[in-house]
Amino acid sequence: MTTRFFPCGAIALLLTTLCNGLPASVAATLDTALVPVPQEPGPAAKKKPVRVNYDLAKQLFGTEPAAPAAKVESSKEKVDLGKSLYEAKLGKAQQSCASCHDVAKYGQDGAVHDRNTLSTVNAARHYAQFWDARAASVEDAAVIAPKNGVEHGVGDEAEVLASLQASADLGKAFAAAFPGDANAVSVANFRVAIGAYLRTLVTKSKFDAYLDGDQKALSNDEKLGLKLFMDTGCITCHTTRLLGGHMIQKSGLLKPYPTEDTGRMRLSGSEADKGFFKVPTLLNVEKTAPYYHDGKVATLEDAVTHMADMQLNKQLPPDDVAAIVAFLKTLTGPLPGAIDARDEKKQ
Ligand code: HEC
Ligand code: HEC
């Protein structure tokens, strides 16, 4: 998969040619999905059972983004070490990954650093890391050299290595996770172990159950939200199981978004990349306010209203916004820790 998609929903004419990745049948149906829905069905009409094109939904949302796989095989010891490293205070600032990416808060801290903190939950499933997709894998994202003014994490390689070497407990855990490696305490192994842990931070939602065949998993209101999400054209950009995390796109496609941050252009220097950011996943979006790369949008209602206006030039009535928000809330899954606890209880 390439990094750039065309705004296929926005320009219906280009649809069939430019929706790369979508089967022709989907592109054709997308075309009809773009025909405006009849206005004003009224609240009573909306109570009627909502019919979603289920096959289309499965095609749009059924697949995973093409995310880089782990290069080293995982093990329980690596995951355990990765969790310890994630929680350890490292570097000159004695900071932990967890201080900004609190797993109990769905992998983020609700704060804006140089950019709005992205969640580590489900991050390993993205095609690339960070708002500007500047790192390929979660292993790469764990320690990244300051690049074009954007720093990230707990310090540079030398700082991290010094912290690791200073801890006898971590030394033992590294030896257990990398048996036979004479140089087990290394930044390379730090990356592998953190990655092994991050790859366990995944959630499953009601919407997954729906896509996996249980069409009753969504209520009528939630189905209405799904239908509006599809018909309004949000699916131009928010597709796959993650409803994002699969490409970069322009923030401010049809109406400009005022921001100092040039996004992908910081990396490439190319004017054509100005304002391009990774399309954020919408999994657990209910739990990860504030929104956008700059954290300037406070609520989900505002994000949905503004997205429709800015990206699609559609002004959604409050009822439609509420329905879409109800759908987005079906994308929340129990936290990884909660899933483990539930599985243990079952056994
Ligand atoms: C000071 C706060 C802070 C600390 C400490 C921190 N992060 Fe981050 N993290 C961020 C911010 C802010 C972003 C978004 C930055 C961007 O996109 O430019 C981010 C992005 C990420 C991403 C990309 C997620 C995605 O969806 O693309 C991953 C993975 C990640 N961090 C992992 C880690 C790990 C692992 C550590 C510890 C080694 C760590 N972070 C430490 C603030 C922090
Ligand atoms: C042209 C592509 C495109 C379309 C169409 C689009 N989005 Fe987005 N969406 C994005 C991008 C890019 C961002 C990140 C914006 C930023 O950070 O400046 C985003 C951000 C969001 C966010 C905030 C997520 C977060 O974690 O910050 C939500 C919610 C959202 N979109 C929902 C929608 C809905 C609902 C629709 C349809 C009404 C829609 N989007 C249409 C590309 C798109």
pLDDT band at 100 (very low <50, low <70, confident <90, very high): very high
pLDDT digits (tens, 9 = 90+) for 45-89: 557 899 999 999 999 999 999 999 999 999 999 999 999 999 999
Instruction: At 256, list the tokens.
Output: 């400009």
Nearest-CA residue for ligand 2 atom 26 is 291
- Is 151 labeled as catalytic in the residue annotation? yes
Residue 29, pLDDT score? 43
Helix (H) or strand (E) holding 248: strand 248-250
Which position among 151, 157, 222, 301 bears the catalytic label?
Answer: 151
pLDDT band at 344 (very low <50, low <70, confident <90, very high): very low
pLDDT over 60 (residue 288): yes
Q: Which residues contact 103 (CB under 8 A, 6 or more apart)?
A: 120, 121, 201, 335, 336, 337
Q: Where are the domains of the chain?
A: 12-65+204-329, 76-198
Q: pTM for the whole thing?
A: 0.88
Nearest-CA residue for ligand 2 atom 8 is 307
- The residues with which 90 forms a beta bridge, in sequence order, are 95
pLDDT digits (tens, 9 = 90+) for 123-159: 999 999 999 999 999 999 998 765 545 578 888 888 8
CATH topology of domain 12-65+204-329: Cytochrome Bc1 Complex; Chain D, domain 2 (1.10.760)
46-74: burial string, b at 16+ Cβ within 10 Å, e else: eeeebebbeebbebbbeeebebbebeeeb
Nearest-CA residue for ligand 1 atom 4 is 153
pLDDT digits (tens, 9 = 90+) for 13-57: 334 333 444 444 444 444 444 555 555 555 555 578 999 999 999
Asked if 12-65+204-329 and 76-198 have one fold, the answer is yes
What CATH class does 76-198 carry? mainly alpha
Mean per-residue pLDDT for 243-269?
A: 96
Mean per-residue pLDDT for 283-295?
A: 98
Ligand 1 neighbour 101 (Cβ under 6 A): yes
